[in-house]
Structure 1
Amino acid sequence: MSENSSKEEHQSEDINDSPAYLQHVNELISDLGKVRADGRVNINLESKVAKAIAESINYQQELRKSTVDYSQRSQQTSSFDLKLNIVIQIVGSRGDVQPFVALGNALQQHGHRVRIATHGVFADFIHSSGLEFFPIGGNPADLMAYMVKNPGLLPQMQTLREGEICKKKAMIGEMLDGCWRSCIEHDPYTQQPFVADAIIANPPSFAHVHCAQALGIPVHLMFTMPWSSTKSFPHPLSSLTADPENKGLDCWVSYSVVEWLTWQGLGDVVNKWRATLDLEPVPTTEGPSLHETLKVPFTYCWSPALVPKPKDWPAHIDVCGFFFRDQPQYDPSPELQEFLLLGTPPIYVGFGSIVVDNPQKLINTVIDAVRASGARAVISKGWSNMDGAQDENIFYIGDCPHEWLFQHVAAVVHHGGAGTTACGLINGRPTTIVPFFGDQPFWGDMVANAGAGPRPIPHASLSTENLSAAIQFCLTPEAASAAQGIAVKMQAESGVTEAVKSFHRNLPLDRMCCEILGDQVAVWNYKKGKQSLKLSKAVVQTLIENSRIKTESLQCHDINPIIIENHRWDPLTGVISAGISTGTRMLTTSTGMLIAPYKELTRTKSSPSSEPSRPKAGRSTSTPSSADDLPSMGSRSATIQPDGDRPTSPRSPFSTAGDMAGASLNSFGKFTTGYFKGVLVDIPTAAADGFRHASQLYGDKPKEYGTVSDWRSGAKVGSKNFVGGMKEGITGLVKHPWKGFQEDGREGAWRGLAKGAIGLATKAPSAGIGLWAYPSQGIVKSIEAKFRTKTRKAIVVSRLMDGYAQTIDMEMSDDMKAAIVLEFDQLMGVD
């Protein structure tokens, strides 16, 4: 079976699988709480499920440590000389994309090459802004329509019946793959090679951390709604029902619950996609709040004048202000100009990219409310194409820049997108928000809390009466004064400038700079003997051309290594979890021994037996492994030409039987491998981890001995864990009683003796089991690394091609190339 056909089959299996959480929807809804009309989960934090989720995730966050401590970075960013290839991955509507266009333009001013990776419908908009564009797939209109129908985390029953979950999973899978390709593939318009040196993304793109892990590069998240745990306010997708006295803790836990529910729906799709990148699956306990565990830098794109940064957010999280692009050039129609000038300033009503099932009902409500309030209105048709009867007090418009229009209105009524909210407030316009999903209720609450508008009106509750009252509230002097006060503060901010500083500040510059050209990013490690250098793409290309190095001597330099570990709470849950994973893997592969032969038989019967052989055109499956292969990679995809009209012979029954037997044996091999790996490696490793971390349960912080990545690190961790565990277990029998006696006399000594005995009973088994488990785990990872080379090879080829293109773009003189060679020779000690 070809790679392409197996990929198609794999994708079809992904699409048809139901999200894991759907099996437990009824239990979750009844225990956690009810799903509100606006889609938020009405979380009951006294429920068993909520308590279990909160306890497990918060315990894990305390236990786990990041491999990179972003909070310690404090580089000066007044001047930034390093030039990067940056890909910005965005999923959402135009309101989600537009702020990042402003960011991209600002990054270009620092010499960075910027690519915006988002939906294809925004190609012209991004190109017209002077930025590179890469399509990741997905239809934002379909996505908006789905979100209006299912505004929260749990889909409606009608959605389940209509099969839209499968469609959404297919779309997510397409976008995940598109995001990865945006990191390493040529520009689809100019065919200019590109490999990302850093990733900026909004969280709903979902691929960000995983792409960064595969490439070993920095990732920075930016968003317009809270996505990091805080005690200041709950997660925007949650609605709490808990004791008001514990509001801070309840707000904090709401993020864990929402993240857990989100991972239940997307974890299977993400992990199956990770396998195509040669990445191990993310454990179920690690998936929720992964960005917090890894301490990924985060920049929030809203005004601190409206929502200040919570005090419990660490240093690698910034609140920088809204992102505004430069004022666009706009020439209004004479009809619009005349309407704005005749009479009192109108209000604006528009719902942008929201797609509703019944736009006529919505426009009728809006028109009746405008008339009842006595106001004049400019109504934007938007993606729902809201249009109504002509009226002297109502003017309908198509696409019109908010930056221009909001200067000429008295108030604004909209869906509550962060960009539209920001544009209204910076112009000092009172705001009524009619939220549909996502962060829109959050922004409605924030505007109301600031006094710049009424309480938000969920679209399901919208009526002529409450919308008319809201419009009248916005036209009061009090609302205008509050909005003007916010505008003054916002106009003193520079969100884009601060976001660029935040991005630069959180880069690991000590690992990024080329050791020959300091303004270029190092992506290669060159080693010869004991000498080692970090080199850029252009420098390596120059050295290859001058016969100083060979591609076989190069290794990818991981600027920002991301390691996702499966931490265990205690030996019991650790072993049970590993056992369940092993059992599930064995069940899947044993089923494959029966299904795979049948699929092979079906495929053979459906294949034409006497038609000409015409291989399908598509991306070549071969991957060049050296610079010698570069001339054949001049385009993003290669096409396989048909062989002509040579007929193929009918397949014999023996060949078919052989293929069926081969498919069965392949599944049997996976079954056997999964069994021995689970029994001999995974379960013992889980037990060793569990026993070592059990000391956390009685307040003793467990020691960390490093990460197992290959056989060397496995042997090192196993020996350290043995020596350290036995030493701590034995000495604890004396240390803990003595410390307890000093603190609390005889009673403290008895407690210390009990603590020491428990410590010996947990640390000694961890030491003994780990002596086998960790080296075995390292050996398995070393073996797997030998087979997981497809992605690394693709990265190597793309970087070599990008380096070749960079040397041409830089127009390196012979003197500059000679200087690079001379510097290399001196650093390597060559005479």
Structure 2
Amino acid sequence: MAVILLALGSRGDVQPMAVLAGELTRRGQAARVVATSDFAGLAAGCGADFVSIAADSREAVAMTHARFGRQLFSHPLGQAWLLRRWLALIAEPVADACLESIGPGDVVLSGILTRGVGLALAEARGARLVTVLHTGQVPTRYAESHFAFDHFRGRATYDLRGARLSWRIASGLGAPAAYLARAKLGLPRLAAGATAGAADAFPVIVAASPLVVPPAHDWPKNVVSTGYPTPRQESFAPDAELAAFLDAGPEPVYVGFGSLGASGAHDNLAPVIEAARLSGRRIVTPAVGGAAAGSIDRRVHVIDSVPHDWLLPRMAAVIHHGGAGTTWAGLLSGRPSVAVPFGVDQPYQAHRLHGLGVGPEPIPVQRLSGTSLARLIAQATSGSYDERAAEVGRVARAEDGTEATIAALTRWGYL
């Protein structure tokens, strides 16, 4: 019996699964991650075996640069359409990689996008399916526990129906690969929207901190909150130029917008440079728009790959896109944290950070400019959020999402 972790999506979808796979491997359990080919190095860095899907997640980002791509990506429905389109284009390699990797009786930990494929393998090969989420997607009446919180109206029946509809839509986004998998396995095609109901018979893990996704009282009994699987801390030594920049003045502010930044949220450094000038604060920011690592301005230093667990505690504040992984890294740092979200679950995480009191009110990416970013920097570094951020950081660092997730699998007899 092996544990197969299906991680289709961006880095935020793959990294926590790779962390789990690496830890299971260290404990002597056969485990491997199935993800697009561009994440092979990430999995290896976590000590996880890797099965490559013959596709690249960066192709999804490239779609936002096609005709009307930016316009579509600026709206939630357009984002869903682009994601479904990408999933349709890679359906066959996804189905093939999953069918080749999963044998009879294997445990399948699946993200939401491969839930239908996992269900097909549970039916045909007796695989034991577990859906793994990193944000609040389980249907509930409680807005604070659901990523579509801003669509809730305080009417229990209406809100729950809307959350259930969102669940069915999310569970069906990977339908093209699921259709192919079922055909290859000789299974009848499921009716549209039926994946969620059938897969709900299996356990669901909300692998997000209760600080970020408060467990809801009306979650089904087979839903468990375990916390975010955090990468192991590794020794890291910065290059001489970054070390010199950090030592040359007061703590800088981190400004970065994740692996989807090239989709339009943060594809050039002009607003960052302007914000540094207007705020008078030094900034560390990831390389985008073809920029090379190094100091490009006396107040702005560009980095390539620097571990968040090393970098963020050295910052005065953290400004980011609100992805699940970066949100958690920001909380762990104990520094004020605020998001500039641009879609999917990011507005929810941004809202939760403000609700926790660790940072100012977020602004949507559509309002991002040098001026608005400078204002956000000034608010985050005002000192108003330092004490609360440090307090939440201590609580966050006491969690162990990896251990709690493995414990849940063990209780269910899956390990």
C-alpha separation in 2, matches of 1:508 and 1:128: 25
Q: State the match for 1:170 in structure 2.
A: 89
Amino acid at match of 2:91: I
Q: Secondary structure at the match of 2:195?
A: coil
Task: Choose from 179, 186, 191 the match for 1:278.
Answer: 186
Is 1:210 aligned with 2:210?
no
TM-score, normalized by length of structure 2?
0.88
C-alpha separation in 2, matches of 1:319 and 1:262: 19
Q: Secondary structure at the match of 1:221?
A: strand
Q: Residues 352 and 423 (structure 1 numbering): CA distance in 2 closer, same or farther, change over 3 Å?
A: same
Q: State the match for 1:563 in structure 2.
A: none
Contact 1:235 1:251 in 2 (8 A): no
Contact 1:141 1:355 in 2 (8 A): no
Higher strand share: 2
RMSD across aligned positions (CA): 2.8
Contact 2:330 2:337 in 1 (8 A): yes
C-alpha separation in 2, matches of 1:315 and 1:116: 27
C-alpha separation in 2, matches of 1:429 and 1:402: 12
The CA deviation at 1:325 is 1.7
Amino acid at match of 1:430: P
The CA deviation at 1:356 is 3.0
Q: State the match for 1:101 in structure 2.
A: 18
Q: State the match for 1:256 in structure 2.
A: 164
Amino acid at match of 1:205: T
Is 1:133 aligned with 2:50?
yes
The CA deviation at 1:407 is 2.1
The CA deviation at 1:308 is 2.4
Q: Residues 202 and 156 (structure 1 numbering): CA distance in 2 closer, same or farther, change over 3 Å?
A: closer
Q: Secondary structure at the match of 1:390?
A: strand
The CA deviation at 1:437 is 2.1
Contact 1:451 1:479 in 2 (8 A): yes
Contact 1:218 1:507 in 2 (8 A): no
Q: State the match for 1:754 in structure 2.
A: none
The CA deviation at 1:330 is 1.6
1:573-592 C-alpha deviation (Å, 9 max, x unpaired): xxxxxxxxxxxxxxxxxxxx
Contact 2:141 2:160 in 1 (8 A): yes
Q: State the match for 1:154 in structure 2.
A: 77
C-alpha separation in 2, matches of 1:218 and 1:95: 24
Contact 1:373 1:471 in 2 (8 A): yes
1:514-544 C-alpha deviation (Å, 9 max, x unpaired): xxxxxxxxxxxxxxxxxxxxxxxxxxxxxxx
C-alpha separation in 1, matches of 2:357 and 2:84: 39
Which is higher, the Rg of structure 1 or of structure 2?
1
| 1:655-666 pair list within 5 angstroms | none
Amino acid at match of 1:198: V
| 1:338-487 pair list within 5 angstroms | 338-356=244-262, 362-381=268-287, 385=290, 390-487=296-393
Contact 2:336 2:389 in 1 (8 A): yes
C-alpha separation in 1, matches of 2:364 and 2:105: 41
C-alpha separation in 2, matches of 1:134 and 1:240: 38
The CA deviation at 1:310 is 0.9
Q: State the match for 2:151 in structure 1.
A: 240
Amino acid at match of 1:155: G
Amino acid at match of 1:182: S
The CA deviation at 1:182 is 2.0
The CA deviation at 1:471 is 1.2
| 1:510-529 pair list within 5 angstroms | none
Amino acid at match of 2:31: V
Q: State the match for 1:73 in structure 2.
A: none
Q: Residues 263 and 297 (structure 1 numbering): CA distance in 2 closer, same or farther, change over 3 Å?
A: closer
Q: Secondary structure at the match of 1:335?
A: helix
Contact 2:168 2:194 in 1 (8 A): no
C-alpha separation in 2, matches of 1:165 and 1:264: 9
Task: Choose from 221, 231, 235 the match for 2:131.
Answer: 221
C-alpha separation in 2, matches of 1:279 and 1:470: 53
Q: Residues 491 and 462 (structure 1 numbering): CA distance in 2 closer, same or farther, change over 3 Å?
A: same
Task: Choose from 143, 156, 166 the match for 2:60.
Answer: 143
Amino acid at match of 2:296: Q
Q: Residues 361 and 216 (structure 1 numbering): CA distance in 2 closer, same or farther, change over 3 Å?
A: closer
C-alpha separation in 1, matches of 2:175 and 2:10: 24
Q: State the match for 1:311 in structure 2.
A: 217
| 1:669-680 pair list within 5 angstroms | none
Contact 2:313 2:333 in 1 (8 A): yes
Amino acid at match of 1:240: H
C-alpha separation in 2, matches of 1:123 and 1:348: 27
Q: State the match for 1:200 in structure 2.
A: 109
C-alpha separation in 2, matches of 1:420 and 1:311: 27
Amino acid at match of 1:116: V
Q: Residues 300 and 360 (structure 1 numbering): CA distance in 2 closer, same or farther, change over 3 Å?
A: closer
Q: Residues 462 and 172 (structure 1 numbering): CA distance in 2 closer, same or farther, change over 3 Å?
A: farther
Amino acid at match of 1:141: R
The CA deviation at 1:168 is 4.3
C-alpha separation in 2, matches of 1:267 and 1:173: 11
Q: Secondary structure at the match of 2:297?
A: coil
C-alpha separation in 2, matches of 1:312 and 1:358: 37
C-alpha separation in 2, matches of 1:481 and 1:434: 22
Amino acid at match of 1:466: S
Task: Choose from 133, 136, 141 the match for 1:231.
Answer: 141
C-alpha separation in 2, matches of 1:264 and 1:218: 19
Structure with more relative contact order (C-alpha pairs < 8 Å, separation 6 or more)? 2
| 1:601-612 pair list within 5 angstroms | none
Q: Residues 182 and 480 (structure 1 numbering): CA distance in 2 closer, same or farther, change over 3 Å?
A: same
1:414-443 C-alpha deviation (Å, 9 max, x unpaired): 111111111111110111211122211110
Q: State the match for 1:580 in structure 2.
A: none
1:326-384 C-alpha deviation (Å, 9 max, x unpaired): 112222111111110111000111122114356887421222122212211111115x5
1:670-721 C-alpha deviation (Å, 9 max, x unpaired): xxxxxxxxxxxxxxxxxxxxxxxxxxxxxxxxxxxxxxxxxxxxxxxxxxxx
Q: Residues 112 and 432 (structure 1 numbering): CA distance in 2 closer, same or farther, change over 3 Å?
A: same
Amino acid at match of 1:287: T
- How many pairs are equivalent? 406
Q: Residues 129 and 286 (structure 1 numbering): CA distance in 2 closer, same or farther, change over 3 Å?
A: closer
The CA deviation at 1:166 is 5.5
Contact 1:316 1:506 in 2 (8 A): no
C-alpha separation in 2, matches of 1:492 and 1:358: 36
Structure 1 unaligned residues grouped into runs of 5+: 1-83, 185-194, 510-831
1:270-298 C-alpha deviation (Å, 9 max, x unpaired): 33441111111112352344433x2x211
Q: State the match for 1:122 in structure 2.
A: 39
Is 1:493 aligned with 2:399?
yes
